[in-house]
Amino acid sequence: MKHFITLGLFLFVALGTNAAVWTTVGTEELFNNLDEIEFQNVQLPATGAIKLAPTVLPLLTLEENAVWQIVADRKNTLYLGTGDQAKLFRYSVSGKRLDSLWSGAEGAITALTTGADGTVYWGTTPEGNIYRLYPGAGVELLTTTEATFIFALSAAPDRSLLCATGPEGKLFRVFPDRRKQVLFTAPQAHLTTLHWLKEGKELLIGTSPDGIVYRLTIPYGFARASVTTLYDTPLNEIRALASDRIGNIYIAANPDDNSQPAVFCVDTSGILRWKWNCPDSVIFNIHYAAHQLYVLTGNRGIVYSLDSIGNPTLLARLDARQLIALLPQKDNLYIGTGNPCQLYRLFSFYADSGFITSLPFDLANPARFGRLDHFARIPTGTEIAFATRSGNAEKPDSTWSPWQPATGKVNSPPGRFLQWRANLFTRFPNVSPELERVDIYYAAVNRPPLISQLEIAPLSESAARKGNAEPRRTVSWSASDPDGDSLTFQLFILPADTGAATPKTLGQKIAQDLTETRYELDTRTLPDGWYRLRLVASDCGDRPATSCLTSERLTPIFLIDNTPPQIVGLKIESSPPTQSTALVQWKVIDALSPIVACRISLNAGPWLPLEPRDGIFDSPQELFSHSVSLAPGTNTIAIWAVDASGNSTTARTFFNR
């Protein structure tokens, strides 16, 4: 039986008018946010499908601070080099028996290896001694290197022992009869790791600082060994080295700053093929087997595997935080740890169950949840079960709902945040379900439109003074919908003195089903007076009638005045009538708007601007008087006035001299 869904990159897709789907597709987002999700017994590739992790079995816990090295003899008995009292333990996996074989005064066993004859060798730090244990014999001191640090030991085919030390960067060759010689001295302080590229012929040496890998070419009998630089990394410390059968060399390096540790893959000529930046703080060990590179890290207890082009998979996460020592045995891996000091066995078959959670998804507002779909490969004997929980706090806490099974439908109560959990199961150790996609449908609570601005274009004062009336007024507004719904608008006009809204006071509809955010209002169709505009925005075009919402906004009051003022009481006073000057008097009145300008013209001459008697235009009624010089005969006197709405009027009178 197979089910099909998506994971890693989070997608939000709107569906129709009131439904949406949250899709988790691939694994990239989950892989990059490991500290924000929960998971156990699942392996998580950077891209691809989630499946069960290999079975991890804790074998023992020690009182020491760390297992620094692990080796096995020909009987597959394990030897553990530990710190901080430099103890050597022997552990029988089949018999589950642990024996303490040797203990130093202080420090750690930081180097451990076995010879072809079954002899176990170990080096101690900081005393710099090398010890050996013959099969069936007791422990004896092989040599004192006079170095502070012994980082690595490697048995050579001729039964000699190679020893990498610091802080003088010396590589020692130690003979069974306790003689020793310096085979190579590096310019760096520490030789941190050794790896045979070709056993007995080419030896790789890692260093610190500078992060350089040297290649030591050894002729027969170790005569005149030559050294070349294989690869110079940009990091500080070469922590571990590995190689495969097709000429790839793997270099694990750590920085001395806040940059990331990395694994470099180079060929035998030192040409970089790829680089993987490790998201953890340190790489402790690497090993190549079964077409993948195993990477042990700290301080989150994660085992990664890298494929042939450096794509990572989170293979397993252990309870211990620092994964330090690594020993491959047949199809299994033994892992020694620190914090706490433990020994684990990583099997090649799948765990019988595991789980992983998504990141909490923010829906912005509380929502109702619908169907949960998934895409997965589910072989016979395997299963994937889902559960969800919801809440209104960003991080899951006690206020969230409990986990509830989601068998095709999400049963969690409405909430702003949602999280899913996938539980993977298998009855067979060689098959696992593989999860690729999760889709959760939801209906967000509809939110009303937002009207952020509504205005009617003001009249131009300068235009009004010139008598340019503007009866057509532009109404404009800004509106949006928080859910992305399309909006339509209705526009109403109502008297300014309208009180509380009632069906009779909501105003007269002057436009409907508008989709643009402007409207040209012709005020000449309306009586003069003070008004307000009422704009109603609606998302009903995208929502069912039962759930659509509206918002509204009013303009400040504004004046509609399309009636010109009146000039009244125009008269001329001259005594006697034959006098050459006369006083012209009149009054300008308007029902609503203040008078803003007035001019006079004598006998079709230029229009002369005037001020009212009180010296200021501030009223719908203004008194004017002006002295004119009369010509003999009939004189024509014309008056022009305009109100603040740009409505103008004229009047004239005649006077005979």
**Res 330: pLDDT:** 83
Asked whether the beta carbons of 273 and 266 are under 8 A apart, the reply is yes
Query: Is the model's pLDDT at 413 over the cut of 60?
Result: yes
pLDDT in the model for residue 626: 93
Closest CA to 307 of 273, 259, 346, 271: 273
Q: How many CB atoms lie within 10 A of CB 507?
A: 20
DSSP state for residue 3 in the 8-state scheme: B
Mean pLDDT of 464-488: 93
| Fold: same for 450-560 and 566-656 | yes
9 pLDDT higher than 70: no
pLDDT in tens, 610-634: 999 999 999 999 999 999 998 888 9
In 407-486, DSSP assigns E strands to: 415-426, 434-444, 450-456, 472-480
Q: What is the pLDDT of residues 217-273, one digit of tens each?
A: 988 777 678 999 999 999 999 999 999 999 999 999 999 998 999 999 999 999 999
Q: What is the pLDDT of residue 2?
A: 40
Residue 5: pLDDT band by 50, 70, 90 thresholds? very low
Specify burial of residue 21 (Cβ count, 10 A radius: 0-12, 13-18, 19+).
middle
Q: What percent of the chain has pLDDT over 90?
A: 82
Band of the pLDDT at 501, cuts 50, 70, 90? low
Long-range contacts of 27-31 (CB under 8 A, 24+ apart): 29/359, 30/356, 30/358, 30/359, 31/312, 31/314
pLDDT (average), residues 189-214: 96
**pLDDT attached to residue 282:** 97
Q: What is the CATH number of domain 450-560?
A: 2.60.40.10
Domain 9-53+354-444 has CATH 1.10.1060: no
- The topology (CATH level 3) of 566-656 is Immunoglobulin-like (2.60.40)
Closest-CA residue to 342 (of 12, 58, 36, 13): 58
Tokens of 206: 């890692």
Model confidence at 506, pLDDT cuts 50, 70, 90, reads confident
Within 8 A by CB and 6+ apart from 502, the residues are none
Q: What is the mean pLDDT of the chain?
A: 92
DSSP H or E run through 29: helix 28-31
Q: Please determine, for residue 445, whether its predicted confidence score (pLDDT) is greater than 90.
A: no
User: Which sequence spans correspond to the domains of the chain?
Assistant: 9-53+354-444, 450-560, 566-656
Strand order in the sheet with 450-456: 450-456, 472-480, 518-522
pLDDT of residue 203: 96
